[in-house]
Structure 1
Amino acid sequence: MSLAPRAVLVHRTTEYEELLARHGTHGQAAFFLSSRGRSIEDVRQRYERNRRGLAEVAAAVPLSWRQARVERADLDRFLFGPEDVVVVVGQDGLVANAAKYLSGQPVVGVDTDPGRNPGVLVRHRAADAGRLLTSAAASAARTGVDELTMVEAVTDDAQRLLALNEVYLGPPTHQTARYTLAVEGGPEAAPEPQASSGVLVGTGTGATGWLRSLWHERSSSLALPGPTASRLAWFVREAWPSPTTGTTRVEGVLTPGTSLRLTVESDRLVAFGDGMESDTLNLTWGQTIRVGVADTRLRLVG
């Protein structure tokens, strides 16, 4: 007998809750914010909107379904099942935080603070949750679902990192790292030793953020991918020319079957995805990491 679908509600601790945890009472938190020229009322109202939205989504889950909740800080310890329908309640960035732990489960993004969030990934309102859950759980439900490309990094000792927006490779201090860079699967070219403050490899979803800022800063003519396009864009940050390091390959595109290979020539490099430095791959001298288009895609309900 197959399991009933499970609605997994993903949320994060609000600023108001964090303030109460740090200062103990509403009054103490209000005094702390007022000393910095801010009012606690706006913070509390956002908390209330989030709380009401989460409660409305939970109430919309069909009675025959199972239900679970997971806070952002616990995502790396939560086991998602193949029958899950994931409902992200909050900001766009929370969808990216959850995406790396999924393997094809449909995701519904619910915006509890319209007008404050861009709404690129949290596209729906809490009132629509019941209809969307039922639709997303249908076994043949591929219509109305965007298959968003993700980026994958794999080390030579089989560590794996998945991200929706981008993967950063470089020194943990964001200063200077040495490595050898090569593109595999494309036109043959000799690997190039480089010294830089890191390499960014991003998707079309990430092309609206950090990736785009690099693209804009250097006035690149590279065509950035769209969210559903099966290709990635990559940029080397602040490459340094020297007698032993080059700057001839500082940007490019990766398609399925091609990958960017970095061989570490520093004491330590890190790789992390979507800005989550708490979930980092650590690499030491001589290790190799390859970054390319992931087989996994995020199934975002449109």
Structure 2
Amino acid sequence: MRTVSNMIAVVTRETRLEGLKQRWGTSNQADFLLGAAVKHEVERRRQVRARRGIAVSETDLCEFADSAIELTDREVYEEEDAQYNESLQQLYRELDLGIPVREVDRSFLANFDFGRCLAVVVIGQDGLVANVAKYAGDLPVIGVNPDPLRYDGVLLPFQVREARAAMQRVMKQQARFEPITLAEVNTITGQRMVAFNDFFVGCRTHASARYTLEADGRRESQSSSGVLISTGAGATGWMSSVFNMAAGISRFTTDSELPRLSLARDERKLMWAVREPFVSRHSSADNIMGILNDGDELVLGSLMPTQGVIFSDGVEDDFLEFNSGNIATFSVSEQQARLVVG
């Protein structure tokens, strides 16, 4: 049972600049290592030209440096960081509605008690909304775009200046919502997880995953680099890479384009695909893709003694162990995300 709603949760995540500082300790150290990376890349490209007997001019060296700097441009990181923090401070001013506001870093989502919240405001990239939705339950989720010039904002319908009005509509129960279909997995060990975009099932390392797969009454043993189970929201994400690979192979071998499957975000269906299936004496690849309608199940049984995992929405640190003897059932979840759109 949910306790009394008495706060607004604002979910944030570190900027790339903050990530650099955490990795390298100080701004000066980060600057030094970024500069060293540029010099290393320029020298690498010069040596490649030299091995081919191609002369390198000063203009070439400048072009090498410009290209390398694009990958390590500290000014871009600083601009992103400044814009994000400015937007965050403005957001707090917009949400000054007489209700306590609690900031929650992305890394603490799995342990935060959302049952105390009236709503969840997400300020970041689209992927942060996906990370939040599976923990927020049926709470209204308000996606705020902190940097419209950099972020597409597919799941971030509001500018910072619009957050106050959006929250007021939620408080008055006048907000418009888009229901988002979630995927769900349940294991025989009693564990449950939901996904906004997708599930990955496989091995923690780059070793092949071994498992049995059962769908549409067909069951087979497989060995692959993992299985993806995607919602409509995730169909343009990780799952799209499967279609990209298949389309590229089709163009190369037959000079034709394969059609792509798509699902609406509120459609009560999932799609699944096996990544890089391997055929051997012990594994087959007859059943490598399908659609799960509401009420259908995809059942996977682990044949991996160790390192088997299930995680959702790209969050590898929050995973379910999926080792030998464990069986996981994937289906359309009864739980839906409620994305505020107006």
TM-score for the superposition, normalised by structure 1? 0.91
Please state whether the residue corresponding to 2:189 is helix, strand or coil.
coil
Q: 1:62 to 1:195 in 2, by over 3 A?
A: same
Partner of 1:147: 179
CA apart distance, 1:165: 0.7
Larger % of helix: which? 2
* Residue 213 of structure 1 pairs with residue 247 of structure 2: no
Match of 1:121 among 136, 145, 155: 155
- More deviation in 254-263 or 209-218? 209-218
Alpha carbons 2:9, 2:119 under 8 Å: kept: yes
Please state whether the residue corresponding to 1:240 is helix, strand or coil.
coil
Matched to 1:275, the amino acid is G
Please state whether the residue corresponding to 2:309 is helix, strand or coil.
strand
Please state whether the residue corresponding to 2:93 is helix, strand or coil.
helix
Q: Matches of 1:226 and 1:174 in 2, distance apart?
A: 32
Q: How does 1:11-50 map to 2 (within 5 A)?
A: 11-36=12-37, 37=69, 38-50=72-84
Match of 1:63 among 93, 97, 122: 97
Percentage of pairs with the same residue: 34
CA apart distance, 1:243: 3.1
Alpha carbons 2:87, 2:160 under 8 Å: kept: yes
CA apart distance, 1:267: 1.0
Matched to 1:35, the amino acid is A
Alpha carbons 1:164, 1:274 under 8 Å: kept: yes
CA apart distance, 1:287: 1.2
CA apart distance, 1:21: 3.6
Partner of 2:137: 103
Question: 1:81-109 deviations in whole A, cap 9, x for unaligned?
Answer: 26421111111111111112111111111
* Residue 246 of structure 1 pairs with residue 284 of structure 2: yes
- More deviation in 153-162 or 219-228? 219-228
Alpha carbons 2:120, 2:136 under 8 Å: kept: no
Question: 1:211-242 deviations in whole A, cap 9, x for unaligned?
Answer: 01102322454632111111010001111222
Q: Matches of 2:149 and 2:292 in 1, distance apart?
A: 34
CA-atom RMSD in angstroms: 1.9
Question: 1:18-69 deviations in whole A, cap 9, x for unaligned?
Answer: 3334444433333332333333222112111111111111111143212111
Alpha carbons 1:4, 1:64 under 8 Å: kept: no
CA apart distance, 1:248: 1.2
- More deviation in 23-32 or 42-51? 23-32
Matched to 1:228, the amino acid is D
Q: Matches of 1:190 and 1:108 in 2, distance apart?
A: 41
Alpha carbons 1:222, 1:252 under 8 Å: kept: no
Aligned pairs, how many?
A: 295
Question: 1:238-266 deviations in whole A, cap 9, x for unaligned?
Answer: 11222332211100001111111011122
Structure 2's unaligned 5+ residue stretches are: 38-68, 248-257
Alpha carbons 2:185, 2:194 under 8 Å: kept: yes
Matched to 2:10, the amino acid is L
Please state whether the residue corresponding to 2:178 is helix, strand or coil.
strand
Partner of 1:260: 298
Match of 1:193 among 200, 208, 221: 221
Alpha carbons 1:207, 1:225 under 8 Å: kept: yes
Match of 2:205 among 173, 190, 195: 173
CA apart distance, 1:13: 1.4
Structure 1's unaligned 5+ residue stretches are: none
Please state whether the residue corresponding to 1:208 is helix, strand or coil.
coil
Partner of 2:252: none
Matched to 2:281, the amino acid is P
Q: Matches of 1:90 and 1:207 in 2, distance apart?
A: 21
- More deviation in 220-229 or 170-179? 220-229
TM-score for the superposition, normalised by structure 2? 0.81
